[in-house]
Structure 1
Amino acid sequence: MALGGVVQHHQRHAWVRLTHLKRHALAPCDRDRWTRPQRRCYSRLAFKQTRQATLVKPREFRISLQASRQLSQGFHQWLAGIRVLDLSQYIPGPLASLLLADMGAEVIKIEPPAGDPMITLGPRSRSGEGLFHQTLNAGKRIVRIDLKRADGQARLLEMAREADVLIEGFRPGVMDRLGLATSRLRAEAPRLIICSISGYGASGESLQKAGHDANYLAEAGVLHRNGSTDPQYFDPPIADVSGSLFAAMAILGALQGRARSGQGCIIDLGLADVIMPLQLLQVADYGENGTDPERRSTYLNGGAAYYQIYRTRDHGHLTVGAVEPKFWRRFSDAAGHPEWIDRQSEPLPQHQLTADVAAVIGSWSLDECLARFADDECCVSPVLNLGDALQTSRLRSRKLVVKGADGRLQALFPAWIDGGPPVPRAAASASESR
């Protein structure tokens, strides 16, 4: 069988095989409609239109036979048969559904008639379109529906009955005003998993408050202790991206839970809340010892000489992460200053030791530093810009940032499965209006 036939064969019969998996953890909600073989689903045109989100074209990506088998049986088919409706906008929800699409879920991105506001934010692609919007929605089918109209709401309810997961990112109460309250969705689709992502969660005193990543980090105590003199923002946005990861994780767990209970659930995730589990160690220390870290006071935020960023003579920057004593010993010996070894145990913040190391590092160029600390056991790295980072041989060897069929760079799911990297994503489908 030709390569294209292999992929089409596996994709086509994935749905038929679901008839034998009625108790499978990831079987779709409306089993009768989804598992009954329907001729219209297997016409070439209909198949291309309905499954464009997860269909990878062999000629387009020039994948090998082995890669096609991975596509059919491995990482990219873990969620085959799962349909996700994504009503969210900007970064958190769309990134969560992108991760689900990477694992084989069919994602239908529901946008208002004017499109996701992300279309107008950020840089443009060569074709003049919003690059961030295209990146976040790769491999998805985009459908534009006016949810403020009764016919649009009816259409969404119809789609929800056939879906497994619904992601929305409105402020609490908006879905109710649209006539799409969770109670109604659950009544129409009891097995539907609803993931609501909002700024501050659906309960508590701040549920209607507007906010972005900077607000969540500021209110969680993170900005206060980071930066050299004044608090500093982070790029990429920690709360937004972490919220995406927690949302995807919760959805995967809910799918497994549904396999046992037969019922969907409602996931209420606040982006301001995801910061706390990220700093669970600091929270534990505060609870036990009352430690409230300031800037440059802990080993994680610049208070330790052995976990520090140093400037070189030629204005480059070198980061040292020699936390364990054995690594600090190798670093100190390579620097020609074995007297530093025992000083690692000095109390934090280690301002004097940091100044001593900085004076030595500052007398060398970046290249001289890299040559001196070439030993892998020194835990030393140059501080690269993004362009330089993308050119490193290490990153290239992992094949996790590659060009897609449209020639654009894609940062893929960061894991090899069964000895192989993930394949590039398909482009988002053209927008449909309903």
Structure 2
Amino acid sequence: MPEHAATRPGGPLAGVRILDLSAVVMGPYATQILGDLGADVIKVEPPGGDNMRAVGPMRNAGMGALYLHLNRNKRSVVLDLKTQAGREACLRLAAKVDVLLYNTRPQAMSRLGLDYESVAAVNPRIVYVGAYGFGNAGPYAGRPAYDDLIQGMTGLPSLYQRNSGDIPRYAPLTLADRAVGMHVAIAMLAGVIEARESGKGQAIEVPMFEAMAQLVLGDHLGGHTFEPPAGATGYARLLVSHRRPYATSDGHISVLIYNDKHWSRFFDLIGRPELKRDPRFASHTARAQNIDAAYRLVSDVIATRTTAEWLEQLGAADIPAAPLYSVEDLINDPHIQAVDMVRRLNHPSEGEIRSPGPVGSYSRTPAGIRRHAPRLGEHTAEVLAEAGYSEEEINAWFAEAGPRTQPTKDIT
């Protein structure tokens, strides 16, 4: 099936157009979500391309694995926004889209002449979304921000340390970029819905720091929920040292014994029914107050049997349990394969590749992979023509802008 075919219609967001000036992970992840749902995403890149093009592994220069996983269902246009021609082209594109997304600091957009006022002058209905480190109303406005810095400032490494007793660590994935990227996608959709109702656009800000602070504090405000504080910060169940995959006699297993029924069945399963009457474990509230002792008990017992034995016995008792996977195991999981979550695609320059598929099922307007991740500048002429440039103007534009703005050739 030609998954990269550009002409196949569909998706619940068909008819929504997004001008994506973002790069790296957060913004491209957000626009790819909407592209999978049918939005027409025009990816504007500088002459050197999105930085993620250079992050391997890769088969060909400028087509790194992470870039491929963040930029399908988009069209690539090369514009040097620091030039007058590039700025004018960007504004002509902005005049015909629903959303403009950027992830540079607002001060940089102003210097380029692409601030909200300038863009709204050519398209009063534009939803102008800025996704960057810190909100403009706070003292950190304008500071640079990266995933590691935001993880650190929102306490994730210190929570890891409280949980494990080890040194502080970052989550081993671009957690802030991807979690906030989902907020960005929601903000773009919310803006478009409102603009189509009111006929007016607006500027929207989605700051990484605030979004990740909301995520962390939702779990870990703890006793500081109340004024004056009724206890320490932190959700105790998430922070005890024994909350981790349990060691079995031959490996590890993930187990969550959560509600009263689960615990009652577990105590029967291990031959300790008297623990149902233990005041430490007799109720959800009691277990929460003694969560370290509860998880230590589970840890000690799980170590006595094999992973296969536990998976069979816990499953029979209807107690939530799952194998501990590596990334390789995840790729090969039969459920992941059955729902086609890791798609095999034929890319015109990269050959056969695998990529995580769209999330969710839509009965009438399915999400899908309709375009391959584009080569640098692959659609520049096509998109400029849609913006009203004549063939002569496009040729003159390329001649003036220089060879680095030309579409890349197919790699054979």
TM-score, with structure 1 as normaliser: 0.76
1:415 to 348, 360, 374: 360
Shift of 1:99: 0.8
**Whose relative contact order is higher, 1 or 2, with alpha carbons under 8 Å and at least 6 apart?**
2
Between the aligned partners of 1:397 and 1:421, the Cα distance in structure 2 is 17
Residue 204 (structure 2) pairs with residue 267 (structure 1):
yes
Q: Which residue of 1 aligns with 2:398?
A: none
The alpha-carbon distance between structure 1 residues 282 and 126, as it changes in their structure 2 partners (threshold 3 A), is same
Give the 5 Å matches for 1:143-154: 143-154=77-88
For 1:136, the aligned partner's letter is L
How far the C-alpha of 1:347 sits from its partner, in A, is 5.0
Cα 1:421–1:159 shift into 2, 3 Å: closer
1:276-324 CA-partner distances (Å, limit 9, x unpaired):
3324243375221444335xx6112336x7x65311222x222221211
1:331 aligns with 2:266: yes
Q: Which residue identity lines up with residue 372 of structure 1 in the other structure?
A: Q
Deviations 1:126-179 (A, max 9, x none): 345311112211121111111111111111011111111111000230001111
After superposition, where does 1:24-35 map in structure 2 within 5 Å?
none
Per the alignment, residue 61 of structure 1 pairs with none
- Structure 2 unaligned regions, length at least 5: 378-404, 407-412
Task: Flag the 1:239–1:259 CA change in 2: closer, same or farther, 3 A.
Answer: same
Task: Measure the CA separation in 2 of the matches of 1:252 and 1:90.
Answer: 21
Separation of aligned partners in 1, 2:175 and 2:197:
33
Question: What is the SS of the residue equivalent to 1:405?
Answer: strand
1:93-104 aligned within 5 A: 93-104=27-38
Alignment: residue pair count: 362
Matches within 5 A, 1:28-47: none
- 1 CA distance for matches of 2:140 and 2:302? 47
Shift of 1:103: 1.2
The amino acid of 1:224's aligned partner reads S
- CA distance in 2 between counterparts of 1:271 and 1:91 reads 12
What SS is found at the alignment partner of 1:408?
strand
1:385 correspondence with 2:326: yes
Distance in 2 separating the partners of 1:364 and 1:310: 11
**What residue in structure 1 maps to residue 239 of structure 2?**
301
Deviation at 1:328, TM superposition (A): 2.2
CA offsets per residue over residues 221-270 of structure 1, 9 Å max, x none? 33322240133321332221111111111111111111221011111111
- Is it true that 1:395 corresponds to 2:325 in the alignment? no
| Shift in Å, 1:55 | 3.3
2:225 pairs, out of 276, 287, 297, with 287
In terms of mean alpha carbon deviation, does 415-424 or 219-228 score higher?
415-424
Match of 1:124 among 40, 53, 57: 57
Mark the CA change 1:152 to 1:423 in structure 2 (over 3 Å): closer, same or farther. Answer: closer
Cα distance, 1:208 vs structure 2: 2.3
* 1:181 Cα offset (Å): 1.4
Mapping of 1:65-214 within 5 angstroms?
72=10, 76=11, 78-121=12-55, 123-128=56-61, 129-214=63-148
Matched, 1:228 2:169: no
Q: Would the alpha carbon gap of residues 193 and 247 (structure 1) be closer, same or farther in structure 2, given more than 3 Å must change?
A: same
Shift in alpha-carbon separation, 1:375–1:286, aligned structure 2, 3 A:
farther
Q: Which amino acid aligns with 1:293?
A: T
- Alignment-derived partner of residue 316 in structure 2: 375
Are 1:161 and 1:189, in contact at CA under 8 Å, matched by a contact in 2? yes
Distance between the aligned counterparts of 1:96 and 1:399, measured in 2? 21
- From 328, 346, 358, give the equivalent of 1:405: 346
TM-score (norm 2): 0.80
Give the direction of change, closer, same or farther, for the CA distance of 1:284–1:350 in structure 2 (3 Å limit). Answer: closer
- Counterpart Cα distance in 1 of 2:305 and 2:164: 23
- How far apart, in 2, do the equivalents of 1:339 and 1:405 lie? 60
Task: Using the TM superposition, give the Cα deviation of residue 419 of structure 1 relative to its aligned residue in structure 2, in angstroms.
Answer: 8.4
Aligned-residue identity in percent: 27
Residues in 2 aligned to 1:217 and 1:391: alpha-carbon distance in whole angstroms:
30
Partner letter of residue 29 of structure 2? Answer: L
| Aligned equivalent of 2:392 | none
The answer to whether structure 1 residue 311 and structure 2 residue 247 are counterparts is yes
| Paired AA for residue 107 in structure 2 | G
Rounded to whole Å, the distance in 2 between the matches of 1:416 and 1:245 is 18
* Alignment partner of 1:55 is 2:28: no
Letter in 2 for 1:120: A
Once the two structures are overlaid, the 10-residue window that deviates more, 273-282 or 154-163, is 273-282
User: Per-residue CA shift, 1:6-52, capped at 9, x if unaligned?
Assistant: x9xxxxxxxxxxxxxxxxxxxxxxxxxxxxxxxxxxxxxxxxxxxx8
Q: Output the amino acid matched with 1:183.
A: E
1:410 aligned counterpart, secondary structure: strand
The structural deviation recorded for 1:428 is 2.2
1:392 offset after TM fit, Å?
1.9
Sort the Cα spacing of 1:415 and 1:165 in 2 relative to 1 into closer, same or farther, 3 A.
same
